[in-house]
Structure 1
Amino acid sequence: MDWGRLTGPGGVLGSLSLLCVILDGVLGATGGEIEHHLEMGRKLLAAGQLAEALSHYHSAVGKLPEVDSKNYLTYYKRAAVFLAMGKSRSALPDLTRAVQLKPDFLAARLQRGNILLKQGNAQEARDDFEAVLRPSPEYADAREQLARARDLEELQEDARMAYHRADYGAAISVLERVIEISPWDPEMRELRADCYLRTGDPQKAIQDLAPATRLRSDNRAAFLKISLLHYSLGEHHESLSQVRECLKLDQDDKECLGHYKQVKKLSKQLDSAEELIRAERYRDAIEKYEGVMKADPHVPYYTNLAKERICFCLVKVKATTEAIDVCSEAHQRDPRNARILRDRAEAFILNQDYEKAVEDYQEAQEFDADSNDIREGLERARKLLKISHKRDYYKILGVSRAANKQEIIKAYRKLAQQWHPDNFQLEAEKKEAEKKFIDIASAKEVLTDPEMRQKFDAGEDPLDPENHQQQGGGHNGHAWPFPFNPFESGGSFHFKFQ
């Protein structure tokens, strides 16, 4: 509880202390049962047990004669408890009833004026403060609040004028001061939210609309607007939560119900697609995301997200050409998205286009410098680019990086038959064939061994003597004869082709 608000100038408990003195003289004038409830309420209030105190004041008020002017203090006392509990809307009718029963009851007028001022009802608040000052012109709190009420009237008019001439920045600036004086005014918060929307700041609009939902008894429109904003920002779970608040107030509200069905359907598709990705069912996830684009093609966020995730899935299933096309389209739609650049870089690696992979990873790092995935990917792409200037085993065999073992062996056999040195008669041709044959055999050796292939895919050539010397070992822990040469293993090297 904000005790400063309650005990400061014009605060609830400041007036409450005055009231307690007055109550001591009024309790004897009530009936026995009413007096009991009032006394219990006073004790519980003093003990800080507000809910229990309120219960007794409800009982006391329920037994009061409607027209007995002596009962004004009971209404005031219950209003004070409401205010201490932060329920200003509930306190207002009791304060009004107290003023009706005793028009010169200044404490009630001052408290009512304070509430009206915070609610943005400047003229009504001014009337109350002027009523307090007529018999007590020296009342400092009332003078200060009256000045604030007059300021509020002028500021409200300035804000509306700025809004109507479409000077939304100026309106926001004035509304800052308005809301400082009247933080419980939903109309001014909604006006500022609209200004934020017109200046392209939906997040700040949401921040103003959220308290506005608590300041109206029927706040379905605000809940729907917040839901729509969250939805447009891609925050579908929060959108669903807000539109449900609208339906709690009226389950048949046509606009809220229609939006709820739309959000629920899309949210279910998105959640399902991500579950499929976690289960590595990438083709099924692609189908789901294609459904997302059809479900709501009018909100760019969801189409952009779908393109991004389809790009990711296509890389995972190694559909290289399609992945590059979709990732490029996704990049055009969302140029600063580091994840798309990362995924397209991986597609370029699958396509053995290492220079483009390095370029994409470098650009991705500009947008997300703290990502370990991007940093490690860039390092790997650079290694692969360096290796490609020496020997690229995939290119030697003419297979894609997604090729399986059977495809690699098939390519090897075809090239080995073509370039076996025994097929050539001239010495120069034999030497050239032998060189090519060594590269072909090396490629087959690396790419059919899971451990060596994994190293090569990570940007390290397992047959490079430099790597061998740095690591102090060879394949599977055994020394490896560098450079790899099938013709220098002691005796003739024979191949059996099936």
Structure 2
Amino acid sequence: MTKLRFIIMLFTLFLISTSYGFSLQDEGSSASVRMEIENQTKRLYTTSNSQERAYILYERAKLYNYLGDSERAIHDLTSAIELYPSFIDAYYARGSVFNNVGLPEKALEDLNIILTMAPNHQHALRTRAAVYMALEKYSLALQDMNKLIQTNNKIGDLFYQRSLILMHLEKFDEAVSDLTTAIQLNPDNGQFLLTRGSLLLKIGKFHEAKADLEILHAAMPDNEEIATLLKMAEAGIIYQAQFQ
């Protein structure tokens, strides 16, 4: 696997895993969460108001998700939605849990419902772009990222993420442009610079790649991977010079 493909894969996995993630905690934390689940269950039976019950179920679902109990989390979120059909946060939470347990198509159903009700929902757009990436529906992912950037054009990470989608679509010049914007917005982000250097190397722009990789090598002289990429750029320059 090339460095560039590895970077793209990491981005997709990161966005999917962080959309509504949970982490297993130590026993002390788990015990306190279980106690809170009991409290929420008691609260559930003290009210007959549908919307209030939906919120309680939503809160309990988050606790189940925290413990890694995705099945109960999904069950509570589904019940919350049945009680309160326009509960956007519950749709988003359920879609994210579906995503995390490897059901991207189910996640898409919930994300699409959210974006029907709230077309500019930032988290839903970003998560749906990640789901589309995982499903290799890159053109659809690009549409969502374009919409996000229209209203968030000062966030370097969005340009970085869009560049990875553009790479999958083999729109390399546009990807370089997005990476350049990302670097301008976040000049200290080494990942952005490494990605641009790797892409420039891939498309044969060896002088530009060398410039990026030299900056990284100066900052991390012991990094063997960067040193190897820099040598590849230098070798590419020598090779191209033979035909000039």
Structure 2 length-normalised TM: 0.46
The structure whose Rg is larger is 1
Structure 1 length-normalised TM: 0.26
Work out which structure has the larger RCO, using CA pairs closer than 8 Å and 6 or more positions apart in sequence.
2
